[in-house]
Amino acid sequence: MYGGFRRTGNVQFGENGVFVSSTTDGGKTWGMKHTAVIIHTGTQTADSSFEDKYYIHVDTAQTSPYRGTLYTPWKRVINRDSSTQIVFSKSTDEGATWSVPVAVSERFPGTSEATTFGQSFPLIRTGPDGSIHVVWNSGTESALRYARSTDGGKTFTTPRIIQNYNPFGIKSTINGQSNSRVKKVVRAECYPSLTIDNTRGSRNGTLYLTWAADNYPNVYFSRSTNNGSTWSPARIVHSDTTNDQFWSWIS
């Protein structure tokens, strides 16, 4: 899965979309190429959507009623009000067609131009019962938000904050662009990473979450043993807290 966009000359609002290609022989050949999950062509305006930060997930749990379904959340930006929103689409035919995107989160105006990128970096993971779990960074709140679906993505729970964090890095401006940066140089942000135990062992269904926060940034961990309803207190996973540690991933 990947994005594409085109801006020519001084056009501010360009065509854009989210696309997927697939292989059935381990990457030797790609039979399905450049299939649009969503695409915006023609004249774009300040009220048009710009789709960003798309990460695909496949339900592979043996016990899931939705096994084989492809899911992706992403961040939608509307330039008119500088808003960010998390939306969601799915495919039940191996990526050939995709559902009309539905909103997972509220629309937050005035956040896309913030140093924290507003609502961004959403991830989906699925549990052994087929439940869909979405987590993302809500930068202007210095928080991780979460929502869950138990009906294959038809409906989602009301998004809620599951962890608050100390602001990441230091805000600084380079070449006119203000962002959160490590040591005022490396542009970075609080990217959450989520995994779910689908092994049928004693921890089957447990959710595990990591993210980075603070300056210097540290990597934090939390887990849920009740399908995302409650989460354990955040704790740092490493012993050295005097250096920069961020962009974690968990499996």
**With 90 as the cut, is the pLDDT of residue 61 above it?**
yes
Confidence grade of residue 178 (pLDDT, cut at 50, 70, 90): confident
pLDDT at 168: 84
**With 80 as the cut, is the pLDDT of residue 156 above it?**
yes
Q: What is the average pLDDT value for the chain, to the nearest integer?
A: 94
What residues are paired with 21 via a beta bridge?
none
pLDDT at 173: 83
Mean pLDDT lowest among 131-135, 139-143, 188-192: 188-192
Distance CA 218, CA 220 (A): 6
**With 80 as the cut, is the pLDDT of residue 176 above it?**
no
Average pLDDT over residues 216-238: 96
114 vs 142, higher pLDDT: 142
Residue type, position 192, single letter: P
**With 70 as the cut, is the pLDDT of residue 92 above it?**
yes
Full 3-state SS string of 163-222? EECCCCCEEEEECCEEEEEECCCEECCCCCEEEECCCCCCCCCCEEEEEEECCCCEEEEE
What Cα–Cα distance (Å) separates residue 16 from each residue in 4, 19, 41, 73, 154?
5, 10, 7, 16, 25
174 vs 98, higher pLDDT: 98
Average pLDDT over residues 171-179: 80
> Starting from the edge strand earliest in sequence, which strands make up the sheet with 207-213, in order?
193-196, 207-213, 218-224, 235-236
DSSP element (H, E) containing 15: strand 15-22
Average pLDDT over residues 70-88: 97
Contact 231, 163 (CB under 8 A): yes
pLDDT at 88: 97
Distance CA 134, CA 244 (A): 27
pLDDT at 216: 87
Distance CA 193, CA 136 (A): 9
pLDDT at 11: 66
173 vs 49, higher pLDDT: 49
Contact 107, 36 (CB under 8 A): no
pLDDT at 60: 96
Full 3-state SS string of 71-136? EEEEEEEECCCCEEEEEEEEECCCCCCCCCCEECCCCECCCCCCCCCCEEEEEEEECCCCCEEEEE
pLDDT tens for each residue of 19-37? 999 999 999 999 999 999 9
Buried b (16+ CB within 10 A) or exposed e, 138-147: bbbbbbbbbb
Q: Over pLDDT 70: what percentage of the chain?
A: 98
